[in-house]
Amino acid sequence: MEHDSSRESPSRDGSSLPGEWLSSSLGQAFSQIVHRLNDQESRRGRARNRALQHLDVLLESRPCHRLFEGSGASLLGMPEMLGKLAKALEKCAAPPKEQEGREDGYSEGAEQAAEVGSLFIKLLRIIVSARGCLLFREWESVVQHLAGPIYIFAVTHSLQQPWTTPRSQFIAGKVLALLLQITGCDSVAGFLYGESEDEKGKFTEIMELLKPDLNKESWKNNPATKHVFSWTLQQVTQPWLNQHLEKILPPSLLISDDYQTENKVLGVDCLHHIVLNVPAADLLQYNRAQVVYDALFNHLYTPEHHLIQAVLLCLLNLFPVLEKALRWKGDTARPTTHCDEVLQLVLTHMEPEHRILLRRTYARNLPAFVKRLGILTVRHLKRLERVILGYLEVYDGPEEEARLKILETLKLLMQYTWPRVSCRLVVLLKALLKLICDVARDPNLTPEPVKSALLEEATDCLLLLDHCSQGRVKGLLAKIPQSCEDSKVVNCIRKVQQVSEGTPYSGT
């Protein structure tokens, strides 16, 4: 009888296979905690708090620190159980839905995240201390099951968001640092795509974990998911990104197609990162580049300057990809491009626009379009002329960003389309002289460095205009210094005259 009793519970006296008894006992305890954390009714109630407290006590206990002792057979199922525990904890700390996102709910969620983060730190430290007890294969299995959920938790709460506090961010940062230490990675980028060529990173696994929450029906259930996806995506660059294109492009398009401007900008930033880091051949395959272009083009009709800025920057990098598919034969006219189409729409919106922020955004990007089209900008010359003249007349605030960018655009336009400039000499000369006089006589609104920049850019435009008209500007300005009493205006005109005559201008 005694012999049979000792065989039924061999490890209670520590005489045989203690690891098996420990793993079995702790596995059952972990299983119960996971069950309680996954229970929808108790996830945000007292049962959840009791489960977290129970887990805290368990992780502090001596048996848990001997979790990985014993033979390989005793570890059977433990990595999977720890993975389920990590997933349950990550879901438990997830912020509430967007529609429920009141400040009090977010405050409570940040405290919950800090508590969960502390539990992750204790668990990871146990894993670190057990490194010497495990075979490489066993260690890899443990890390494989824990890495994904813990990474998602760490990124969710380490970024500055409405659901985070300095404390929860600090704890989440420590969790991420410990995770990188365990995986032997020097950076998040290395963790995602692998530190070496033969090492497989965790990016695919992370995307698979995020996938259920990144479809049309569920992506707003957790407000952190889109930020985790976006931040993770932007850590991976070429040449590693193109192999994941099927996983990252649909969610990026989905987020950019939302009705909220914040989400649109986030999605466009994701698309921009894809355009910059995926080879043109892959983007052109299956008409992906055209799909991205259509999605971006539709955003140009919105009046949000942040969104317009993000869209125009992305389009400017997408144009070279789209134009690779075009074929031009020298005996025919060049076909219109996507850049022509976008510039035409931008100029249509610029003419009547009165909102300062939008005017600045359009003007900021206009030089890049002229550079992109080069001599083909002549197709848009009449409309560009109207926009330039209109924008030069309007004061743009102390920094004068719009007028400075319009002057830069005018310089580029004259350089690329100089044969067509001489017939517009009088109109452009009047606009530039009026601008110089307005800036020179402005008593207090514009800071002196900005005034100097405007006068210098306007003078450069006069010089280019003089070259394009074979010196006619110098003749038209000849009598102004004799009648003008403003020294700043006279200096600008003298510079044009002296440089036109071939004399170096040193200023006064």
Whether the pTM exceeds 0.85: the reply is yes
Helix axes 166-183, 136-158, angle to 10 degrees: 160
Indicate if the pLDDT at residue 503 is higher than 60: no
% pLDDT > 90, the chain: 53
Residue partners of 82: CB distance under 8 A and separation at least 6: 30, 123, 142, 145, 146
Q: Return the higher-pLDDT residue of 123 and 76.
A: 123
pLDDT digits (tens, 9 = 90+) for 361-376: 999 999 999 999 999 9
What's the CA gap between 213 and 398, in Å, rounded? 46
Tokens 């099951």 belong to which residue? 145
Q: Return the higher-pLDDT residue of 500 and 192.
A: 192
Indicate if the pLDDT at residue 3 is higher than 50: no
What's the CA gap between 58 and 47, in Å, rounded? 16
pLDDT band at 502 (very low <50, low <70, confident <90, very high): low
Please report the pLDDT score of residue 508 as a whole number.
32
Paired tokens of 127: 């894993």
Tell me if 344 sits within 8 A of 380, measured CB to CB. yes
Please report the pLDDT score of residue 136 as a whole number.
65
Q: Of the ranges 107-111, 145-149, 308-312, 324-328, which is most confident?
A: 308-312
What's the CA gap between 346 and 366, in Å, rounded? 9
What's the CA gap between 466 and 262, in Å, rounded? 47
pLDDT digits (tens, 9 = 90+) for 223-240: 999 999 999 999 999 888
Residue partners of 419: CB distance under 8 A and separation at least 6: none
Please report the pLDDT score of residue 250 as a whole number.
95
Largest CA distance in the chain: 125
pLDDT digits (tens, 9 = 90+) for 5-51: 333 333 333 433 344 444 567 778 888 888 888 876 655 567 788 88
Indicate if the pLDDT at residue 62 is higher than 80: no
Average pLDDT, rounded, for the chain: 85
Residue partners of 62: CB distance under 8 A and separation at least 6: none
Paired tokens of 55: 């887990």
Tokens 């991420």 belong to which residue? 176
CA atoms in the 13 A half-sphere facing the CB of 103: 0
Indicate if the pLDDT at residue 409 is higher than 90: yes
Mean pLDDT is lowest, of 163-167, 244-248, 444-448, 463-467, for 444-448
Q: Residue range 264-277: average pLDDT? A: 97
Please report the pLDDT score of residue 86 as a whole number.
92
Paired tokens of 440: 């020179």
Which long-range CB contacts under 8 A does 247-255 form with residues at least 24 apart?
247/204, 247/207, 247/211, 248/207, 248/274, 249/274, 249/288, 249/292, 251/210, 251/214, 251/219, 253/291, 253/292, 253/295, 254/214, 254/215, 254/216, 254/219, 255/219, 255/226, 255/229, 255/230
Please report the pLDDT score of residue 326 as a whole number.
72
Indicate if the pLDDT at residue 268 is higher than 80: yes
pLDDT digits (tens, 9 = 90+) for 196-205: 766 788 999 9
